Amino acid sequence: MTAYGLLVSPSHNRVYAQAAADLVKAELTVFSERALGGRVRDVEETAIGGVPYVTFTADELTEQDVRLLSNLSSLYALFQIEGELLRPVPLQPLDLFGSDLLTIQKYSGKTNEYFTKLLLNVTAMATDSPMDLVTGRPRVLDPMCGRGTTLNQAVMYGLDTAGIDIDGKDFDAYAAFIKTWLKNNRVKHQAEVANVRREKAVLGRRLHVTLGASKERYKSGETMEITVVNADSLGAGKFFRPGSFDLIVTDAPYGVQHGSRSKGAQPGRKGRPQLSRSPVELLTAAVPEWTRLLRPGGAIGISWNTFVGRREQLAEILASSGLHVQDSDAYRGFRHRVDQAISRDLVVAAKP
């Protein structure tokens, strides 16, 4: 057995930094359970030279093992421990672009980028082909995408991604951001915003972006796609084909007003639909629609505020749509405090 030490990346968010070691321990255990045959053992937090590390033992890691572990959400550096010495393990992350794609946007309510990556990772581990995260190209949907943190993380990984959000301001903000970012970074791309029409009726607006990680890849047709629809997530099936996504990943509202609503919502002010403040109510209505978009063997991951919804409620919603909820100790190890009003957790389920 070989000992390894993982140095956790410093986080700009003080509260998240306090939870980062426990979160990456749970994430590493999920990786081991789902993709590494349980070969990672003895995961714990250890001080080395006065600096906290997450340490573990394993049969000597293969190149493919390292490719997977290089994408742990809070990984800063990985070392092989040899007595009192640390030997650096060269990392091979999937990232195709600079971190500013994830960090440059600043706005109230933005999900922490490290947690977004973690949620995408552990959802990918629940599929029938978890190593596809590094060897394949799973297609990702965020059905409540806001200003696109999940979409940008998927692009960092080189994946095709799609999102839906009913908030027109968020749609416009993301469209403006991604087009400006691609232009400023001289990324070869095409981008357009157009109305989605059916039988002469406008169902919503769609942003479609085709881009390449390099000019050479773009010219050869090796491209990625971003598709974002400005519409109600409950009507996701109007814009995407059944079984067309491998991963559905989203951050549910934390008990404040959100763009989606449950079926039968009563009209609000000025005759507009009344927007739901309950993630449980919202997910009860939305999950069956999202499940139809998920391929067999795919997985869905949802994060939420435990103060406004119990884990058992969300698990029941997912199970009632025929999904198999991941319930190992590792998948139950992600609860952490965000602020005084938010205690965040995640739940992941696979489609048989």
State the fold for domain 2-88.
Alpha-Beta Plaits (3.30.70)
Q: Which segments of the chain have a pLDDT < 50? A: 256-273, 275
Residue 158's CB: how many other CB atoms inside 10 A?
Answer: 15
- What is the Cα–Cα distance from 352 to 349, expressed in whole angstroms? 10
Dihedral, 208, 124, 26, 23 alpha carbons, nearest 10: 0
Looking at domain 100-350, its CATH architecture is 3-Layer(aba) Sandwich (3.40)
SS3 content of the chain, % helix, strand, coil (to 5): 35, 30, 35
Q: Where in the chain is the domain with CATH 3.30.70?
A: 2-88
Sign (positive/negative) of CA torsion 252, 258, 261, 266?
A: positive
pLDDT of res. 256: 45
Q: How many helices (H) does the chain have, and how many strands (E)?
A: 10, 15
CB 125 within 8 A of CB 300: no
Q: What is the pLDDT of residue 280?
A: 92
What confidence score (pLDDT) does residue 272 get?
45
**How much is the pTM?**
0.93
Give the CA distances from residue 182 to residues 60, 140, 290, in Å, rounded to whole numbers and listed in that order. 40, 20, 29
8 A C-beta contact, residue 124 and residue 133? yes
Alpha-carbon distance of 157 to 71, in angstroms, equals 9
Q: Where in the chain is the domain with CATH 3.40.50.150?
A: 100-350
Identify the helix (H) or strand (E) that includes residue 32: helix 14-35
